[in-house]
Amino acid sequence: MTIEEAIELRHAVRSYRDESIEQTSVKLLEECIEQCNQDGGLHIQLILNEPQAFDSFMAHYGKFSGVKNYIALIGKKTKGIDEKIGYYGEKIALLAQTLGLNTCWVAMSYKKVKTAFRFDEGEKLYLVIALGYGVTQGVAHVSKPLDKVCAIDRDTPSWFVEGVKSALLAPTAINQQQFFFTYENGCVAVKAGLGFYTKVDLGIVKYHFEIGVRDNQFKWAD
């Protein structure tokens, strides 16, 4: 499965089968996480066979079941950390999808099991991504129309539209899709709207956009 196919097929999955993650997949995920940590200055960790985080009233209320594996998105409290967590977290989640795994970003419905992580000075756990072989593949979310999330005119290149379509397939907190893309002179800007975790969402949709535009070159506006 390519990363583009993974974007099409990925949906939030909250119920998982009682099956360990294949060793070859664990190795590929670990390698990807290490690279993301280096590139982003993060301390993301793969937590395997740890059922306690999702064994709580909150988790069951949030309809999670069988979650024993997750990705802990850990980093230092620095400027731009939320966006970085979103960007690199989604990179790992989409790799997982290409390996036949399912995922769900989780901000609220889990318990922080501190003994499961390694924290360096000044670090904190931002979110987790539940991971495993899903009972189902999930269902496609309802999306906003294209013109509600970007500005398009006669001069807008078609690759920009493809990038935004890819962003519309991204997971966002409570499916809020609070982002807006604009294009000007080879530069793309994206702004987060108001809402919970919209800065994390921004990183996620930026990663989707970069995949969606394929080989077309552009710069992110500051």
Ligand X SMILES: Cc1cc2nc3c(=O)[nH]c(=O)nc-3n(C[C@H](O)[C@H](O)[C@H](O)COP(=O)(O)O)c2cc1C
The residues of the shown chain that bind ligand X, judged by CB under 6 A, are: 11-12, 62, 104-109, 127, 138, 141, 171-175, 197, 200-201, 204
Closer Cβ to ligand X, 174 or 187, answer by number:
174
Q: Which is nearer to ligand X, 181 or 197 (CB)?
A: 197
* Rounded least distance, CB 30 to ligand X, Å: 23
Listed in sequence order, the residues at least 6 apart from 150 whose beta carbon sits closer than 8 Å to its beta carbon are 160, 161, 164, 180, 181, 182, 183
Residue 142 or residue 185: which is nearer to ligand X going by CB?
142
Closer residue to ligand X (CB): 62 or 157: 62
CB 156 within 8 A of CB 40: no
Minimum distance, C-beta of residue 85 to ligand X, in the bound complex (Å): 9
Beta 187-192 vs 219-220: how paired, if at all? parallel
**Phi, then psi, of 83 in degrees rounded to 5:** -65, -40
Contacts of residue 158, defined as CB under 8 A and 6 or more positions apart, other chains included, come to none
**CA-to-CA separations, 3 to 8, 110, 207, 208, in angstroms, rounded:** 9, 28, 11, 10
Give least dist CB 191 to ligand X, A: 17
Q: Which residue is nearest to ligand X (CB)?
A: 171
Nearer to ligand X, 188 or 204 (CB): 204
Nearest distance, CB of residue 216 and ligand X, angstroms: 24
State the minimum distance, in angstroms, from the CB of residue 37 to ligand X: 19
Which CA distances in Å does 87 have to 15, 92, 155, 178? Answer: 24, 9, 28, 16
